[in-house]
């Protein structure tokens, strides 16, 4: 037995799962669980959870009793909190079906009451929301983000506040314990040499294509000079037209206004990077071979029946770590993927139901 007065090490062995009660007074290794039911699921910016079923045996009786509402499951060095627990009994055989979400989602129980407004950086919003929290939450930012106009940002629980920041700034979140890392999309995920190819490691891909966000022209405005400097811009507004305008026609995107730019060439590079001049494609892939995939991995999809050959990023996965079974993945070639769209729609519906 271990108590709170003794530090409990986080075990990182691939096959080791440990369980603590809600108060974390005891911690035991989980054995005799159904390895065929154990899954790890992740969706970009939305969810991260594990699920499994365990039947009580003579060997795991004490550990079995530790599994209750809000108890803690340790897996791969991370803490997951039991949020759904289904108990079944058949004669003397008793079983629990467990779903545990990552401890990050517990930040919903903290709140920032005050609000701020203005043309704010992502750092200003994060400092306001989490800078003085008492729950051990820390954060960092990787990459560059433009300022956003925020009105009365705050008076929100920490989780909803983070989701608002992710949506407004277009950031991608990764969590380790209670440390939150906010990535500029281009900085998130590994560049891998992995590829998915029809009849090599998959026979089935379901793709969704959307041209709604396809644009072929964009204009950028840089920094303005002060009155002492004579006013006006450091350089004339830059307009970039994609070569794909020949195929799709002129489709004008919202302009970029960013006072960090005082150089025309740098702004042009930014415009080329920002413009999405291709259809948004998301696909659900059933792999035929086991593959080690991580959050946000970039890989090539080659699917001859649909004439597809493109770089895509993993935006969700479902893994079966104790089985020789390939993961189920969703890939996308754009940050505005189907996972993000579905999440935004759900939030808008929630707002409408609340009446604001």
11-63: pLDDT as tens digits: 345 568 999 999 999 999 999 999 999 999 999 999 999 999 999 999 999 99
Q: Is the predicted pLDDT of residue 127 greater than 70, yes or no? A: yes
The three-state secondary structure class of 162 is: helix
The three-state secondary structure class of 47 is: strand
Q: In terms of Cα–Cα distance, which of 131, 151, 162 is closest to 356?
A: 151
Does residue 146 sit in the same domain as residue 245?
no
The three-state secondary structure class of 270 is: helix
Does residue 267 sit in the same domain as residue 313?
no
Between 9 and 55, the higher pLDDT residue: 55
Do 65 and 54 form a contact (C-beta atoms < 8 A)?
no
Does residue 141 sit in the same domain as residue 265?
no
The domain tally of the chain equals 4
pLDDT of residue 342: 47
pLDDT of residue 157: 97
pTM across the whole model: 0.76
Does residue 82 sit in the same domain as residue 134?
no
Q: For residue 245, how many other CB atoms are within 10 A of its CB?
A: 14
Between 289 and 107, the higher pLDDT residue: 107
pLDDT of residue 346: 52
- Considering the domain boundaries, does residue 348 fall inside one? no
Average pLDDT over residues 75-96: 96
pLDDT of residue 228: 81
Q: In terms of Cα–Cα distance, which of 91, 106, 168, 166 is closest to 136?
A: 106
Q: Is the predicted pLDDT of residue 337 greater than 50, yes or no? A: no
- Considering the domain boundaries, does residue 353 fall inside one? no
Does residue 36 sit in the same domain as residue 131?
no
The contacts of residue 30 (CB under 8 Å, 6+ apart) are 17, 18, 19, 54, 60, 63, 73
- Considering the domain boundaries, does residue 3 fall inside one? no
Chain segment 270-316, per-residue pLDDT in tens: 899 889 887 777 777 778 788 889 999 998 888 777 677 778 899 99
Q: Is the predicted pLDDT of residue 203 greater than 80, yes or no? A: no
Average pLDDT over residues 118-137: 96
- Considering the domain boundaries, does residue 7 fall inside one? no
Q: Which residue has the tokens 């002492």?
A: 228
- Considering the domain boundaries, does residue 88 fall inside one? yes
Does residue 269 sit in the same domain as residue 299?
no
Does residue 331 sit in the same domain as residue 284?
yes
Q: Which of 103, 120, 155 is the last residue of a domain?
A: 103
Q: Which tokens sit at 182?
A: 């906010």
- Considering the domain boundaries, does residue 343 fall inside one? no
- Considering the domain boundaries, does residue 2 fall inside one? no
Does residue 181 sit in the same domain as residue 200?
no
Q: Name the residue range of residue 27's domain.
A: 17-103
If you compute the radius of gyration of the chain from its CA atoms, what whole number of angstroms results?
24
Please name every residue paired with 308 in a beta bridge, in sequence order, or none if there are none.
303
pLDDT of residue 231: 82
Does residue 261 sit in the same domain as residue 155?
no
- Considering the domain boundaries, does residue 9 fall inside one? no
The contacts of residue 325 (CB under 8 Å, 6+ apart) are 290
The helix or strand, by DSSP H or E, that contains position 352, with its residue range, turns out to be helix 338-354
Does residue 120 sit in the same domain as residue 142?
yes
Does residue 326 sit in the same domain as residue 197?
yes
Does residue 59 sit in the same domain as residue 200?
no
């Amino acid at each position: 037995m271990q108590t709170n007065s003794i530090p409990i090490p986080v075990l990182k062995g691939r096959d080791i799962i440990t369980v603590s009660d809600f108060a974390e007074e005891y911690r035991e290794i989980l054995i005799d669980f159904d390895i065929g039911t154990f899954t790890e699921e992740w969706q970009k910016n939305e969810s991260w959870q594990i699920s499994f079923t365990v039947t009580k045996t003579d060997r795991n009786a004490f550990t079995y009793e530790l599994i209750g509402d809000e108890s803690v499951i340790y897996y791969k060095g991370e803490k997951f909190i039991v949020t759904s627990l289904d108990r079944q009994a058949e004669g003397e055989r008793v079983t629990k079906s467990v779903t545990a979400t990552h401890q990050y989602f517990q930040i919903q129980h903290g709140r920032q009451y005050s609000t701020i407004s203005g043309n704010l950086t992502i750092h200003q919003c994060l400092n306001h929301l989490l800078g003085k929290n008492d729950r051990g939450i820390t954060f960092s930012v990787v990459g560059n983000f433009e300022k956003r106009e925020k009105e009365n940002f705050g008076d929100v629980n920490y989780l909803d506040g983070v989701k608002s920041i992710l949506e407004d700034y277009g950031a991608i979140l990764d969590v380790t314990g209670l440390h939150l890392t906010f990535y500029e999309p281009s900085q998130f995920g590994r560049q891998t040499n992995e590829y998915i190819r029809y009849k090599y490691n998959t026979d089935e891909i379901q793709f969704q294509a959307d041209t709604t966000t396809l644009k072929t022209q964009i204009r950028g405005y840089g920094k303005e000079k002060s009155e002492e400097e004579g006013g006006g811009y450091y350089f004339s507004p830059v307009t970039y037209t994609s070569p794909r305008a020949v195929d799709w026609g002129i489709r004008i995107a919202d302009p970029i206004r960013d006072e960090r730019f005082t150089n025309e060439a740098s702004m042009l590079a930014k415009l080329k990077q920002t413009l999405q001049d291709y259809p948004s494609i998301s696909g659900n892939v059933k792999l035929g071979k086991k593959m080690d995939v991580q959050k946000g991995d970039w890989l090539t999809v080659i699917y001859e029946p649909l004439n597809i050959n493109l770089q895509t990023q993993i935006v969700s996965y479902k893994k079966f770590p104790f089985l020789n079974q390939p993961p189920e993945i969703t890939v996308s070639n754009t940050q505005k993927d189907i996972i993000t769209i579905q999440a935004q729609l759900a939030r808008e519906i929630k707002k409408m139901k609340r009446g604001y």
